[in-house]
Amino acid sequence: MTYTLNSGRVIPQGAFVEHKISQGYREATSVLFIHPMDLFQLGIESGDKVRVTSAAGSVVLRTEETETLREGCVFIALGPYANAITGGYSHGTGMPDYKAIPVEIEPTDDPVMTVWDLMEEIGGLRYDN
């Protein structure tokens, strides 16, 4: 089924802004918030991993349940994980669709990548001296 993904600022992501290579930042930005009913329908539990796929790409995230969202709407902190599934088309405005992205969600056992992994996947080179 198709879900609507929003991204936005949250405290843990903000607090790790100066430490984006850290475990803390990775944990804060690779969580998919999702309604318990949606988890139920996916047949998984809060904390399980899912693969989220949009027209722009796909990424593995860990789930966390919340009732603050409507069913069918999912949320992720802004950051490199959100961007892995955000497209570059801006409708002629300069602003890409960071919000209300249609996505497919399926359970997975694949690992959540690190930030460096994500950067190397698109041609970057990690610096971990």
Partner 1 sequence: MIIEDVPCPFCGCLCDDITLTIKNNRIVGVENCCVLGNAKYLSKQRLKHPIMRKEGKWVEVSFDEAIEETARILSGATRPLLYGWSGTYNEAQVTAVHLAEELGALIDSTTSVCHNPSILAIQEVGHPGCTLGQVKNRADLVIYWGCNPIEAHPRHLSRYTTYADGYFFENTVSDRKVVVVDVRESETAKIADEFIQVKPGGDYLILSALRAMVRGRGDVVPATVAGVKKEQLQRVVDLCQKARYGAVFFGLGVSMTRGKYKNIRNAIELVSELNRKTKFTISAMRGHYNVYGFNEVLTWMAGYPFAVDFSRGIAFYNPGETTVIDVLARKEPDACLVVASDPGAHFPKTCIEHMAAIPTIQIDPCVNPTTALCQVQIPVAITGIEVAGTAYRMDGVPIRMKKVVETEFPTDKQILDRICERVRELNGNG
- In the bound state with partner 1, the residue whose beta carbon lies nearer, of 22 and 46, is 22
Rg (CA), the chain: 14
80 touches partner 1 by CB under 8 A: yes
75 touches partner 1 by CB under 8 A: yes
> Which of 98, 104, 108, 112: binder of partner 1 (CB under 8 A)?
98
- In the bound state with partner 1, the residue whose beta carbon lies nearer, of 40 and 89, is 89
Rounding to the nearest 10 degrees, give the CA dihedral for residues 110, 116, 120, 121: 30
Least Å distance between CB 56 and partner 1?
6
- Report in angstroms the alpha-carbon separations of 1 from 36, 39, 44: 15, 12, 15
